[in-house]
């Protein structure tokens, strides 16, 4: 590779002189004459040049370039990609060159060297601070890197031990004690101690973040040796689910002070995060993991431009209907499911025209025909509640244009499906006479909700992870988007309802309480459900162990490659 760099320098300099001597070449290559002679010999052996040194007075040296240095540079870039050296390949390239190189990335995906898998994803990862994550991909990745005291097991639909091997609770669910497994360690070799658990949970309770409200009732968090004790201000029979949540994964004491903490978090989960940049995120199996070691040595998430053709051996996330996914041969497999969640519209109740449920429902009724037309084109089902199986939207028959403010600011974030729905909604609002401005924000700007005071209409969506019950509960009890877009009276009701749900010890009794909350939220038009999405995975015959999580990803621990 360095020889190619020297050849490029030589090719860029050479046209300025026709009969260079060794001293001139050494100056051009910034080296001694002895090293220049060695470099020229190696280039000649590669067939790149013909070099005839001048011997004796009056005999001029002859240099001929036999290869185009641009072609050789391209070869060098592809060698780097084949070796998985993305950063080196992109380093120093101009923007146009970077875009061209990105188009070739899919050819290097799939199974690499033994035990490694390169997967495509359409964007770099956002920040991975557990208490701030509120997007499903980052939620999934942090759960591959870190571990909590407990874990939700999709197969049994139960909470199982994780970093804590056992726990005890008082009869009323207000006092808990957790005992850590012996020999636990973080990825950097530090032991996992009770102090780390105390630090993590106190940080989740005390630091600003979208899940802070769910930890507010942890009035006392203390630990000695391998024992951690929690005292709650109110009974919480969902505490074990909370401790399995991504916001509660355990990190080392004071690790959040690191400048690169949100980029390269350290945990005790099945994979270590080796790198995380604009080109990729690399996860390596952690041999010190307290459960069975992951079957793959390394998983590399490469940032591949949206719509790029993908290779034959590959795993491809498919957030679309089956007829919108490129055809594969019969050796490929597909898994499809309806997402547990929906795309939705929210209206700011601070606007007089949106202050009543009647007005909000009228606007939702006005928007639905256009949304239904878009959903039909995308072969997506329309939503009548947060979940596909829920029918909470009241029957509305009027199609009269609603009363709207003269100007509306519509906000969404950079996701193709949301952007399409945003333009659809904006067009329909313009038909009702409003002047509409669309604001498409990068998700790191959208997520903190700083725009909520000036936004009139919000297009968003939510997808639940494997633990559906707690996912729904956290939407009610946390500082989620629904809390940001409600008035004060509705937020007070939501806090009371969430407390009642957590105080119910029987899961069979909690389920109707949770659904009743979401029914009221839809009936009061705090959210206007629009459509559901089919997600899934396409994968080639070389890949085994693929399962579809409710968030649309898969458990990295179970993936393996056939020889």
Average pLDDT of span 305-327: 58
If you average pLDDT over each of 50-64, 214-228, 396-410, which comes out highest? 214-228
Q: How far apart are CA 11 and CA 556, in angstroms?
A: 46
Given a cut of 80, whether residue 9 has pLDDT beyond it is: no
- Give, as one character, the DSSP assignment of residue 383: P
List Cα–Cα distances, 387 to 31, 268, 361, 532, in angstroms: 68, 33, 19, 8
Label residue 21 by pLDDT band (50, 70, 90): confident
Q: Domain check: are 301 and 390 in the same one?
A: no
The answer to the question of residue 555 being in a domain is: no
Last residue of one domain, picked from the residues 13, 45, 73: 73
Domain membership of residue 327 (yes or no) is no
Tell me: do 198 and 283 sit in the same domain. Answer: yes
Q: Note the pLDDT of residue 158.
A: 95
Residues 289, 292, 296, 297, Cα dihedral to 10°: 30
CA distance 165 to 337: 33
Residues near 367 by beta carbon (within 8 Å), at least 6 away in sequence: 345, 425, 428, 429, 528, 530
Exposure string of 344-373, with b = 16+ CB inside 10 Å and e = fewer, is bbbbbbeeebbeebebbbbbbbbbbebbbe
Q: Residue 153 belongs to what H/E stretch?
A: strand 150-153
Higher pLDDT, 314 or 561: 561
Whole-number pLDDT of residue 322: 43
Q: What does each C-alpha distance from 97 to 73, 84, 87, 90, 118 come to in angstroms? A: 11, 18, 14, 8, 22
Mean pLDDT on 171-192:
94
CATH of the domain at 445: 3.10.105.10
- Position 309 scores a pLDDT of 67
pLDDT-based confidence at residue 324 (cuts at 50, 70, 90): very low
Give the C-alpha distances (Å, rounded to integers) separating 105 from 92, 303, 316.
17, 8, 14
Quote the percentage of the chain above a pLDDT of 90: 60
Q: Is residue 540 part of a domain?
A: no
Question: Residue 251 pLDDT > 50, yes or no?
Answer: yes
What is the structure's pLDDT at 310? 63
Q: Specify the pTM.
A: 0.84
pLDDT number for residue 94 = 73
Instruction: Tell which wins on pLDDT, 478 or 186.
Output: 186
User: Does 302 share its domain with 435?
Assistant: no
What is the rounded distance in angstroms from the CA atom of residue 177 to the CA atom of residue 240?
Answer: 11
User: Minimum mean pLDDT among 243-247, 300-304, 438-442: which range?
Assistant: 300-304
DSSP code for 305: -
DSSP string of 33-89? HHHHHHHHHHHHHTTSEEEE---STT---EEEE-S-HHHHHHHHHHHHHHTT-HHHH
State phi, psi for 432 to the nearest 5 degrees.
Answer: -85, 5
Share the mean pLDDT of the chain: 88
Q: How far apart are CA 275 and CA 284, in angstroms?
A: 10
Residues 191 and 252 grouped into a single domain? yes
Structural domain boundaries, residue 416? 341-532
Contact call for residues 147 and 557 (beta carbons, < 8 A): no
> What's the CATH code of the domain at 137?
3.40.190.10
- The average pLDDT across 43-61 equals 77
Q: What is the pLDDT of residues 342-382, one digit of tens each?
A: 999 999 999 999 999 999 999 999 999 999 999 999 999 99
Does residue 255 register a pLDDT over 60?
yes
- The C-alpha torsion from 409 through 413 and 418 to 423, rounded to 10°, is 30
Task: Give yes or no: residues 179 and 247 share one domain.
Answer: yes
239 within a domain of the structure (yes/no): yes
**Residue 272 bridge partners (DSSP):** 284
pLDDT for residue 340 is more than 60: yes
Q: Residue range 87-113: average pLDDT?
A: 75
Domain stop point among 289, 308, 327:
308
Average pLDDT of span 513-521: 97
Distances (CA, A) of 144 to 101, 120, 138, 316, 444: 29, 17, 10, 18, 21
Residue 238 shares a structural domain with residue 359: no
Burial of 395 (0-12, 13-18, 19+ CB in 10 A): exposed
Q: How many domains does the chain have?
A: 3
Are 278 and 408 found together in one domain?
Answer: no
pLDDT band at 239; cut points 50, 70, 90: very high
H or E stretch including 167?
Answer: strand 164-169
Report how far residue 444's alpha carbon sits from residue 142's, in angstroms, rounded to the nearest whole number: 16
Burial 214-244 (b: 16+ CB within 10 A, else e): bbebbeebebeebebbbebeebbbbbbbbbb
Mean pLDDT of the 155-166 span: 96
Confirm whether 329 is domain-assigned. no
Q: Are 294 and 358 in a shared domain?
A: no
Is residue 110 situated within a structural domain? no
Domain boundary residue, one of 308, 325, 352: 308
Q: Where are the alpha helices (DSSP H) in 178-253?
A: 194-206, 212-215, 239-242
Residue 78 lies in a domain: no
More confident residue, 544 or 162: 162
Same domain, 163 and 257: yes
> Is residue 542 included in any domain, yes or no?
no
């Amino acid at each position: 590779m360095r020889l190619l760099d020297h050849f490029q320098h030589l090719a860029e300099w050479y046209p300025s002189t026709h009969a260079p001597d060794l001293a001139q070449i050494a100056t051009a290559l910034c080296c001694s004459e002895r090293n220049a002679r060695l470099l020229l010999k190696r280039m000649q052996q590669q067939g790149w040049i013909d070099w005839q040194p001048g011997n004796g007075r009056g005999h001029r040296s002859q240099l001929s370039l036999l290869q185009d240095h641009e072609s050789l540079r391209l070869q060098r870039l592809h060698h780097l990609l084949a070796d998985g050296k993305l950063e080196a390949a992109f380093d120093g390239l101009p923007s146009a060159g970077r875009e061209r190189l990105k188009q070739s990335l899919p050819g290097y995906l799939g199974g690499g060297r033994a035990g490694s898998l390169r997967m495509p994803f359409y964007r770099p990862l956002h920040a991975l601070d557990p208490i701030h994550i509120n997007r499903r991909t980052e939620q999934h990745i942090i759960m591959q890197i870190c571990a909590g005291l407990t874990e939700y097991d999709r197969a049994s639909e139960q909470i199982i031990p994780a970093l804590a091997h056992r726990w005890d609770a008082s009869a009323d669910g207000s006092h808990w004690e957790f005992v850590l497994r012996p020999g636990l360690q973080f990825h950097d070799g530090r032991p996992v101690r009770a102090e780390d658990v105390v630090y993590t949970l106190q940080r989740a309770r005390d630091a600003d973040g979208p899940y802070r409200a769910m930890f507010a009732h942890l009035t006392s968090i203390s630990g000695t040796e391998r024992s951690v004790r929690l005292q709650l201000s109110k009974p919480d029979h969902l505490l074990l689910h909370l401790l399995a949540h991504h916001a509660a994964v355990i990190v080392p004491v004071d690790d959040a002070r690191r400048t690169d903490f949100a980029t390269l978090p350290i945990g005790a989960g099945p994979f270590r995060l080796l790198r995380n940049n604009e080109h990729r995120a690399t996860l390596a199996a952690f041999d010190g993991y307290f459960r069975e070691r992951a079957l793959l040595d390394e998983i590399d998430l490469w940032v591949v431009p949206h719509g790029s053709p993908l290779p034959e051996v590959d795993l491809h996330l498919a957030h679309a209907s089956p007829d919108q996914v490129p055809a594969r041969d019969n050796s490929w497999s597909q898994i499809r499911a309806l997402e547990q969640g929906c795309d939705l519209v929210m209206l700011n109740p601070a606007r007089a025209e949106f202050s009543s449920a009647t007005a909000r429902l009228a606007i939702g009724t006005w928007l639905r025909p256009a949304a239904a037309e878009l959903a039909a084109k995308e072969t997506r089902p329309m939503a009548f509640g947060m979940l596909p199986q829920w029918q909470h939207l009241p029957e509305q028959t009027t199609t009269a244009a609603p009363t709207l403010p003269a100007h509306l600011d519509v906000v969404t974030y950079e996701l193709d499906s949301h952007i399409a729905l945003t333009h659809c909604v904006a067009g329909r609002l313009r038909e009702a006479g409003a002047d509409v401005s669309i604001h498409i924000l990068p998700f790191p700007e959208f997520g903190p909700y700083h725009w909520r005071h000036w936004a009139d209409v919000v297009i968003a969506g939510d997808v639940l992870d494997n633990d559906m019950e707690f996912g729904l509960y956290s939407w009610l009890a946390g500082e989620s988007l629904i809390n940001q877009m409600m008035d004060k009276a509705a937020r007070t009701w939501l806090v009371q309802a969430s407390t009642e749900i957590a105080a119910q010890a029987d899961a069979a009794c909690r389920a109707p309480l949770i659904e009743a909350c979401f029914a009221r939220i839809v009936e009061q038009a705090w959210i206007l459900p629009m459509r559901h999405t089919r997600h899934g995975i396409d994968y080639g015959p070389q890949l085994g162990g693929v399962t579809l999580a409710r968030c649309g990803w898969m458990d990295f621990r179970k993936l393996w490659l056939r020889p």
